Chains A and B, each alone.
Chain A
Amino acid sequence: MGSHTHPSCAPDEPLVVTRLVKSALRIVAMDDAAQGLGLRLGMPLADARAMYPALAVAESDEHADRRLLDTVADWCDRYTPLVGLDAPDGLVLDIAGCAHLFGGEAALGRDLLERLAAQGLHARAAVADTVGCAFAVARFGGASLVPPGGMRQALMPLPMAALRLAPETVEALAELGLKRIADLIDLPRAPLAARFGEILVRRLDQALGREDEPITPRLPVPSYVAEQRFPDPIGLERDVLGTIARLAAQLGVAMERHQDGARLMQVALFRTDNKVYRIEVGTGAPVRDADRIGRLFADRLAMVGDACDPGFGFDMVRLAALVTERSEPVQDGFAQGELARGGFGRADDAEFSHLIDRLGARFGLRRVTRLIEQDTHIPEYAFAAVPAHAVRRSENAGRTRQLLHPSSDIRRPSSDTQDSLSPTRPVRLFGRPEPVEAVAEVPDGPPARFRWRRVLHEVAAAEGPERIAMEWWRDADGHALTRDYFRVESREGLRVWLYREGLYGRETPAPRWFLHGLFG
């Protein structure tokens, strides 16, 4: 299948597409009008020009071809979730179990070709038991429907190239007089394999169904799928969301039967004109509740907004659970009352994780984070912000840690072992420590006053230094200097975390001061 449009060329005028092959521009594709002129594929452009000086020429663009093929493959998802690419210009669809939805295999093929033709694409299709046979019949054969088990009859009259062989192999076979598959099909296998390689026998076996050939799907095949088609396209957001909610209910029933819940879901919106939007939503815990799934997609769509233009409407909506996880059924009827008594039960946990999912759907999962303690003494790396949906049941994690170290109080960071009346770490930390001008009475003593953001602060009290050396293997970069941290209270009561970078005299002659954080 292929289609090339050239803006400067009227539809009826001959157009050829050329590419540099063997150091000459050769014709690699042409339209019907050009074919009518007697041009051939592989002919040098110079020869064609000599015959028809007015020939319109376009240069081939493999990337654009690939994009077009991807788009068409996306669109073919409407027939089956199992769509494989047969680059550069073919698609393989596994329609086992799907054909009856379209009124049979022949009707499906007709429907597909009609819809592609409506979009200006010339295509040929064949239905057969094997990929190899369908390939051969679609590209070289006449009939488009090979009856089950009829591969041999269908393949016999076709040329050798229909077996998906390298051009050299086809030429070599032709020199021996083997031009059609019929010439080859009953020959002894061992000499053929010895002379032309294993691949020839294998291709034949694959085409005849003697060897299995799986289709490699372009997209992951979901475990659960629900879809709805519309004879009349829908375009309103309300209708789309309503459809998603209905599909979610169907999906929920199926998932409940298998005690699964979805962690990653995808809605595919098939626009009438070939375009397919795929919108994904991830969750922190397995979900199968239709309302929740519906709300997640409502939030996601609100954020996607104009990027998802309905155009003339969507004629199909599919909801798929791409990643699922085992999820035991929960009886939550009794837990509802716990809130009223001031406690927080499992239902509230579920509700909170739903809130996290919704915030993640709206703003992106990376923006909803939990802080996880890290094993380092460098202040700025003490805690890492980890996407909240990836953190599993933090309380459980805490409990496990407590079991492992029953005596340690896991909630307190180690810095708190310094028993102080005031917190030893600030509540806010600047990602980039702010340089301050500070004056200390002695070179390695606490500061007496400092100027931060153009305001001079007199130090009323200071605690420190808390000396924090950087990791020794970081010597190469600029952050290797040892820091002396001071907790400082100004005359106005402002408490800040200052540090002096570099040990006076040993690491630097003029240490610089930075304000790293603010205390409460």
Chain B
Amino acid sequence: MSAESSETLHALRRTVADITAGLPGEDGRLVSFGVTSLDAALAGGLACGALHEIGPTAPLHGGAAAGFAMAMAARALRGGGQAVWIQPDFNVSEAGALYGPGLDLMGLSTERLVILRVPRPRDALWAMEEALKCRAAGAVVAELASEAADLTATRRLALAAREGGGLGLILHPNTAPDDQPFCSQPSTATTRWEVASARGARDRFGGLGPTTFALSLVKNRRGRTGQWRLSWDHHECVFATSLSLPVAPAARDGSPRNVLPSNEWPRDEWQHDGQPHAPFVRAG
């Protein structure tokens, strides 16, 4: 290759780098899940200095989506720093207030969390942008309705996240059943997650097992999409693949899904590339 063409190549690479400026840099910190296949799909983990969107598959899974956001924030704070959680007033009355004992138990220490209540949704945008710009905020979670987090808003937020280096999480609240799903909106978020609660394993005495999430990664700018079912060990703040599961998340449109015998589930490999809704499920 001649020197000239290599120079051109270099220039082109720089142009591409400028275009993809919304993407977090390769040197950015990553919040790993500790689950090999998921970390591989994310090229190491959830990127700090970037924006991620989390929403429930159905209104009743709002608690699970909030729990997943807490788990991710908790993992992002393991290196230090503080978290900011922004809630519009309406969400507090509709979806419930953050509960201190539950936060501590999920691993997100209340001693390192500041909660901001804002009167209007668009105040949440301003507050999130300011919080993301602050280098000391390790994680910023904002509960934002889908219509508030449009393309322009998320672009601003993504740039702010890149400046501050914290983990930016947009948590879509419980949407009413006839609302547009948040994934239909364009956004500059690096990843988008649809979260549902899943039935977890039982413990030895027949009691409730670890919190279990049915995650579907429906957008991923750093790799493939897919579905995972993870359980959260709140004592150690780690995710683990959950296998002994009777039910997968329901399809958004409620259509029946293919059935896969449980003994044929490949270990740790049942995520699916490309299509957001994988065609597998076992009836409960």
Q: How far is the CA of A412 from the CA of B234 in the complex (A)?
A: 11
Q: How far is the CA of A345 from the CA of B150 in the complex (A)?
A: 35
Give the contact stretch, choosing among A19-27, A164-172, A244-252, A352-360.
A352-360
Q: How far is the CA of A355 from the CA of B127 in the complex (A)?
A: 10
The answer to whether A428 and B96 have CB atoms under 8 Å apart is yes
* A79 interfacial contact with B, CB 8 Å: no
The answer to whether A367 and B197 have CB atoms under 8 Å apart is no
Min CB gap A438→B, angstroms:
16
The answer to whether B103 and A355 have CB atoms under 8 Å apart is no
The answer to whether B137 and A428 have CB atoms under 8 Å apart is no
The answer to whether A423 and B117 have CB atoms under 8 Å apart is no
* A520 interfacial contact with B, CB 8 Å: yes
* B135 interfacial contact with A, CB 8 Å: yes
* B82 interfacial contact with A, CB 8 Å: yes
Q: List 6 A-B contacts (CB under 8 A).
A: A342-B29, A348-B81, A362-B123, A423-B105, A461-B207, A520-B63
* A102 interfacial contact with B, CB 8 Å: no
Residues 182-213 of chain B: 1 if any A CB is under 8 Å from the residue's CB, otherwise 0?
A: 00000000000000111110110011111111
The answer to whether A371 and B209 have CB atoms under 8 Å apart is no
Give the contact stretch, choosing among A5-13, A198-206, A258-266, A491-499.
A491-499
The answer to whether A348 and B114 have CB atoms under 8 Å apart is no
Give the contact stretch, choosing among A114-122, A286-294, A382-390.
A382-390
What are the residues of chain A within 8 A of B160 when measuring CB–CB?
none
Chain A residues near B (Cβ < 8 Å): 339, 342-344, 348-349, 351-352, 354-356, 358-359, 362-363, 367-373, 379, 382-383, 385, 388, 394-395, 397-398, 411-413, 415-416, 420-431, 453, 455, 460-461, 463, 487, 489, 491-496, 517-520
| Chain B 70-122 residues near chain A, CB threshold 8 A | 70-71, 79-82, 84, 92-93, 95-106, 109-119
What are the residues of chain B within 8 A of A413 when measuring CB–CB?
100-101, 104-105
What are the residues of chain B within 8 A of A379 when measuring CB–CB?
101
Q: How far is the CA of A427 from the CA of B84 in the complex (A)?
A: 16
The answer to whether A362 and B102 have CB atoms under 8 Å apart is no
The answer to whether B95 and A431 have CB atoms under 8 Å apart is no
* Residues of B contacting A: mostly: mixed
Chain B residues near A (Cβ < 8 Å): 29, 60-64, 66-68, 70-71, 79-82, 84, 92-93, 95-106, 109-119, 123, 126-127, 130-131, 134-138, 165, 196-200, 202-203, 206-214, 232-234, 247, 250, 284
Q: How far is the CA of A413 from the CA of B95 in the complex (A)?
A: 23
Q: How far is the CA of A494 from the CA of B195 in the complex (A)?
A: 12
Q: How many A-B residue pairs have CB under 8 A?
A: 223
The answer to whether B127 and A362 have CB atoms under 8 Å apart is yes
What are the residues of chain A within 8 A of B104 when measuring CB–CB?
411-413, 416
Given contacts A421-B208, A460-B199, contact A359 B116 (CB under 8 A): yes
Given contacts A367-B118, A371-B110, A489-B200, contact A519 B136 (CB under 8 A): no
The answer to whether B98 and A428 have CB atoms under 8 Å apart is yes
Q: How far is the CA of A362 from the CA of B111 in the complex (A)?
A: 23
Nearest residue, chain A, Cβ from B212: A493
Min CB gap A518→B, angstroms:
3
- Interchain CB contact (< 8 A) of A421 among B98, B101, B203: B203
